[in-house]
Structure formats: C-alpha cells, structure tokens
Amino acid sequence: MSDDDAGAVPPGTDVEELRALARSLAREAGALVREGRPARVEVAATKSSAVDPVTAMDRASEELLRTRLAAERPDDAILGEEGDDVPGTSGLTWVLDPIDGTVNYLYGVSSYAVSVAVVAGPPDPERWTALAGCVHSVVDGRTWTAARGGGAERDGRALRVSAPPSLAQSLVGTGFGYAAERRARQAEVLAEVLPRVRDIRRLGAAAIDLCLVAEGALDLYYERGINAWDVAAGGLVAAEAGAWVGGLRGRGPSSTMTVAGAVPVVAELVALLEDAGADGREGVTRS
C-alpha cells in the first residue's frame, strides 16, 4: 500500500473485531503492569531528556503486546513507543503505548494507561484512518474503546462530549514536554490560556485526557509534543464521541499540536493557541 492510498481501509476489515482485540490486549498488558509494579519503581533508561524515563515495565508491557499481535495478526505492522517498527503486508498498523503516563507510573500517581490502536494508511496521525482503539486505565480498570463509525464507550456506557457554553466556562486538559526549553514556551502559552478558561488540569497521560474529553470530564484538551502512540486510541475515542480532533492552522493532530473538544467552543481554543504561537510559529524563535 503506497502513501498515495492514505487511509484506504482493506476490504473486509471488521472494526468491531479489531475493537475487541484492542480491548483484550490492553487489559492483558494492564494486568501485567498492575500486578507487576514493584514497591519502588526504578528508571531503566532515559530517552529524549534526563527526565524522559523508560522503565522495565514499559518494555515488558510492549513485549507482551508485540508477542500477542505477532500471533493474532502476523500480517499487520507495529509502531510502538519502546521498540522498533515492524513492517506488515495487510495495510494495517497497530500503534502501541505500553504505559502512557510513565512519570505517573514512576511516582505512583494513578493516571496511567495502556493504549492500543489500529490504523489504516501511513502511521501518521495527520494521514492515517484510525479503525479501532482501547485505552485501559491500569490502576482503576476504566476501559475506553472506540471503533470507526461504531461509537465510543467506557465499560459499556456510550460516550458523548460535553457542550460547554463558552471557552471561559471550559475545563481544559493539557501537558508539558520533557525538554526545559519546550516547557518554558508552554508556560508562556499557558499564561495566555489560563485567564481565558474555567481552569486547567494537568493529569499526565494524553491518552486518558482525550478519553476524558470523550466522556465530558474535560471540555477541551491541547498539547504540543505528543507522539502518534499517545493520540492513536484516545483520539479515536474522542472523535467517535463527537469531538473535533485536529491541530492548528488547518492541520491535523500531530506532535506540532493536538487539540480536541466539542464544536463550536474548540474553535475558540484553536484561535487562542494560534494567536499565542503555541505551535512554535509566528515570531517565536524559541521552540
């Protein structure tokens, strides 16, 4: 499948079957993470910066997901946070975040999840077609799923985004990067946003934040710097619950910026972020 076939869904694809598999895989990896958490979690290595950790459990959870997928879906490709890309022939790619919210996992703060999604087309949030996904909150077991055209649900309850009357009345989720320079810039943007919204929540796991938008526990979400595996499942859950999920300046969701929320209020947030140069453009020499 070439890049020109962006998002072409292979004939005979059963998105409900894929949703069921994503759910069982996320729960199985979630059980491993929950039952195997040592009293004191050690940092096994760091990645993009000294405060971007990976733990032995991030790797073990991803290994379990990859092993199960190799058995269940041998022709599909895999894009995972902690391992090498695996090519496929089916046109489908599984996008894995073995522990989203690793810093929370490290500190024992309860907001962390296993995120499993499957997409058609190039493994790029701006060009793929997300088909099914599951976000499983490890500590309390909340499980969000979605299937393309099949809606979003949490533990059997159908989800619908909230309809906040205005940006000023909106509860907004966001997050900050692992590089100090990036955080400095994000703090400047936050100073523009905070006086214009009800309040901010920094919960620490983008996949869960997007699912909270889907169920109306957050009205809006935005973040610069999140990866494909952070947004793959949560973005579909939010979209299937009625949220607009995109970027700035007409772009789709990407590491440059990901924004989610109910129309029309989300447009107010997008305009505010564009004016603030939150995507690193417009006279901003810093990152």
Determine the residue with CB nearest ligand LIP.
175
Residue 82 is a binding residue for ligand LIP (CB under 6 A): no
Residue 247 is a binding residue for ligand LIP (CB under 6 A): no
User: For residue 256, what are its two tokens?
Assistant: 């440059």
Instruction: For tokens 């955080």, name the residue.
Output: 183
* Cis previous bond, 122, omega within 30: no
Only segment of 59-67, 117-125, 134-142, 199-207 that touches ligand LIP (CB under 6 A): 199-207
Kindly tell me which residue out of 30, 101, 216, 246 binds ligand LIP, with binding defined by CB under 6 A: 101
Residues in a beta bridge with 153: 145, 158
Only segment of 124-132, 173-181, 252-260, 267-275 that touches ligand LIP (CB under 6 A): 173-181
Kindly tell me which residue out of 226, 231, 270, 276 binds ligand LIP, with binding defined by CB under 6 A: 226
Residue 62 is a binding residue for ligand LIP (CB under 6 A): no
Residue 175 is a binding residue for ligand LIP (CB under 6 A): yes
Residue 231 is a binding residue for ligand LIP (CB under 6 A): no
Residue 219 is a binding residue for ligand LIP (CB under 6 A): no
Radius of gyration of the chain (CA): 18
DSSP E strands, 41-169 = 45-46, 53-54, 77-80, 92-100, 113-120, 129-137, 143-147, 151-154, 157-158
Backbone angles phi, psi at 260, to 5 degrees: -145, 145
Kindly tell me which residue out of 57, 116, 131, 206 binds ligand LIP, with binding defined by CB under 6 A: 206
Instruction: For tokens 């009205």, name the residue.
Output: 219
Q: How far is the CB of 58 from ligand LIP (least distance, A)?
A: 8
- Both ends of the chain: CA-CA distance in Å? 35
When the beta carbons of 47 and 286 are compared against ligand LIP, the nearer one is 47
When the beta carbons of 120 and 238 are compared against ligand LIP, the nearer one is 238
- Closest by alpha carbon to 277, among 224, 227, 231, 226? 224
User: For residue 24, what are its two tokens?
Assistant: 């069982």
Residues in contact with ligand LIP by CB under 6 A are: 81, 97, 100-102, 175-178, 204-206, 223, 226, 230
